[in-house]
Amino acid sequence: MPSSSNLCKYDLRVVKNFGLVQHPEGGWFKRTYSSRKLVNLKYGNRLCGTSIYYYLCKGETSSLHSLKSDETWYYHFGSSVVLHLFSKGVYDSVVLGRNWEDGEVPQYTVMEGTVFGAELTSNRGSLMSCSVCPGFYQDDFHWANQADLLIEFPDYKEIIYRLTKDADT
């Protein structure tokens, strides 16, 4: 993951303008909303919802992971972004962007438990927002296991290698 000193001028301007910091899964983020209300779930109390700005600089990816909550992604500007989705033995992908005539969508909800990651379709950054409901809670975040995914989805090994942090996750 590049440090802010390694970013191109455009990416650095976006990161500074929106007050973003590096995200552990790749890219840059800033929490923009946290509900003041809680919901009681079988695994604990969670905020009703949370939102972030999320920016991928050119050359960055969002590593494969899953959440216990649904996460809606909203495209704002820049490169289109491919969401890679692995769930219950099925691989799917969705392209976030503004080119609706080419099948791109401006928002997409990733359902809880789906293993997913993201990558840019071109060599420029992209600003999105992500909203998690019930809200994001660190204990509900899980890195994808590369070995397990390679067994279940052998036809998608290139994507899995590209979007997993390393072989030990």
User: Which range among 3-17, 48-62, 97-111, 118-132 shows the weakest confidence by mean pLDDT?
Assistant: 3-17
- pLDDT value at 166 more than 60: no
The pLDDT, as a whole number, for residue 167 is: 43
- Alpha helices (H) along 18-60: none
Domains of the chain in sequence order: 4-163 (2.60.120.10)
Reported as a single tens digit per residue, the pLDDT across 78-98 is 999 999 999 999 999 999 999
- Side chain identity at 152, as an amino acid letter? E
Q: What one-character DSSP code corresponds to residue 105?
A: B
Considering only residues 49 and 5, tell me which one the structure prediction assigns the higher pLDDT: 49
d(CA 135, CA 45): 10
Q: pTM above 0.85? A: yes
CB-neighbour burial class of residue 18 (10 A; exposed 0-12, middle 13-18, buried 19+): middle
